[in-house]
């Protein structure tokens, strides 16, 4: 198939592009390089079926120019502002990078007759719902602008499917970790220890408790859902089994550093920043019933990602 991958130079997008190519698809990556880098795509350059274009999808004109390059069978939409803290400082950031990119892509899909969309959503749409959260849990009350923009995008996608006879796959990501990360708790800790090898400052009290998923497992999940589910609007939670505390991640990063006598200092808040959901737990019954399961538990995914991110940042 001919695929447009928005956000293709980013952390997750670059891994997804690799796997799509390995499965024989033609992939055009579109990215404004605000967070992603062409370095992430260096292993793909020269491969048959791969192309890259720099494009700011907040602009309808720029988005339209991408669609004029070739006819697409499916759009994988990963472009977004993935820095939730930055979005809290500037509330227009997610409006543009997370929501308007969706609106512009849908507009061009309608104009060019593209009938398939795979959308990277987030656990952030659930806000602070208690208990094990299923795809039908509610009410959906995000506490970050990022989560709000993802939820608004989901609503537009739902309407688009009904109006245009299209199909969509909405996949609600947890905390995704692994090589090429541009943000996240592991990379944050690694950078802090490189700056001050004696002390590691943790945002929040370290009791934050969430599922972490390795990017390799996420890519498998995305393509599994896309291949297996054939409804008009297909929505799935995805995560590895179990949850991991931030305090454990801090210990793993400190241990993997090889540094001696690192002092880990915690804050007093139950969350790292405004908009941070300190604890959540997914129900994975739906995706498990479809035949998918993560290869790595949350703790194992963290351990692997810590090694990989340290290796990249020596």
Judged by DSSP in three states, 121 sits in strand
Catalytic residue among 146, 156, 266, 282: 146
254 membership: H or E segment, kind and range: helix 246-257
Average pLDDT value over all residues in the chain: 96
The answer as to whether 288 is a domain residue is no
* Residue 298: per-residue pLDDT: 98
For the residues 133-161, what does the mean pLDDT come to?
98
* Count, residues in the chain: 314
- Please check whether residues 258 and 136 belong to one and the same domain: no
Please indicate whether residue 146 is annotated as part of the active site: yes
- Cα angle, residue 94 at apex, residues 93 and 96 outer, rounded to 5°: 70
What average pLDDT score do residues 149-171 get? 98
Could you report the per-residue pLDDT of 52-94, keeping only the tens digit for each? 999 999 999 999 999 999 999 999 999 999 888 888 899 999 9
Confidence of residue 46 (pLDDT cuts 50, 70, 90): confident
Residue 45's pLDDT is 87
The 8-class DSSP code of residue 21 comes to H
Same domain as 190, residue 61: no
Asked if 71 and 135 sit in the same domain, the reply is yes
Q: Is the domain of 134 the same as that of 228?
A: yes
- The number of folded domains in the chain is 2
Query: Does the residue 289 lie in any domain?
Result: no
Separation in Å, CA 121 to CA 21, 31, 84, 149, 228: 23, 18, 14, 10, 18
Which of these, 194, 166, 51, 40, lies nearest to 105 by C-alpha position? 166
Give residues with Cβ within 8 angstroms of 174, minimum separation 6.
123, 210, 211, 212, 213, 237, 238, 239, 240, 282
Provide the CATH number for the domain around residue 261. 3.90.25.10
Q: Are 283 and 174 in contact (CB under 8 A)?
A: no
Res 219: pLDDT:
99
Report pLDDT for 194. Answer: 95
Average pLDDT over residues 16-27: 98
């Amino acid at each position: 198939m001919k695929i447009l991958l928005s956000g293709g130079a980013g952390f997750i997008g670059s891994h997804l592009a690799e796997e799509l190519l390995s499965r024989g698809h033609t992939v055009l990556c579109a990215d404004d390089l605000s967070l992603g880098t062409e370095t992430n795509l260096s292993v793909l350059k020269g491969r048959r079926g791969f192309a890259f274009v720099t494009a700011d999808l907040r602009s309808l004109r720029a988005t339209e120019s991408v669609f004029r390059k070739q006819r697409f069978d499916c759009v994988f939409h990963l472009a977004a502002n993935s820095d939730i803290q930055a979005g809290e400082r500037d509330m227009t950031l997610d409006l543009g990078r997370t929501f308007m990119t969706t609106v512009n892509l849908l507009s061009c899909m309608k104009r060019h007759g593209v009938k398939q969309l795979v959308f990277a959503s987030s656990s952030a749409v659930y806000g602070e719902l208690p208990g094990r959260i299923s795809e039908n849990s509610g009410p959906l009350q995000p506490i970050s602008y990022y989560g709000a923009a993802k939820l608004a995008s989901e609503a537009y996608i739902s309407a688009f499917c009904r109006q245009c006879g299209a199909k969509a796959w909405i996949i609600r990501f947890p905390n995704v970790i692994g090589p090429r990360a541009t943000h996240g708790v592991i990379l944050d800790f690694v950078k802090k220890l490189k700056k001050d090898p004696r002390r590691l400052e943790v945002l929040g009290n370290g009791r934050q408790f969430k599922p972490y998923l390795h990017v390799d497992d996420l890519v498998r999940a995305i393509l599994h859902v896309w291949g297996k589910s054939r409804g008009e609007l297909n929505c799935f939670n995805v995560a590895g089994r179990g949850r991991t505390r931030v305090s454990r991640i801090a210990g793993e990063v400190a241990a993997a550093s090889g540094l001696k006598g690192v002092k880990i200092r915690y804050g007093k808040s139950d969350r790292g920043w405004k908009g941070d959901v300190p604890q959540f737990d997914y129900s994975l019954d739906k995706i498990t019933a479809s035949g998918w399961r993560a290869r790595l538990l949350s703790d194992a995914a963290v351990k692997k990602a810590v090694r990989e991110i340290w290796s990249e940042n020596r």
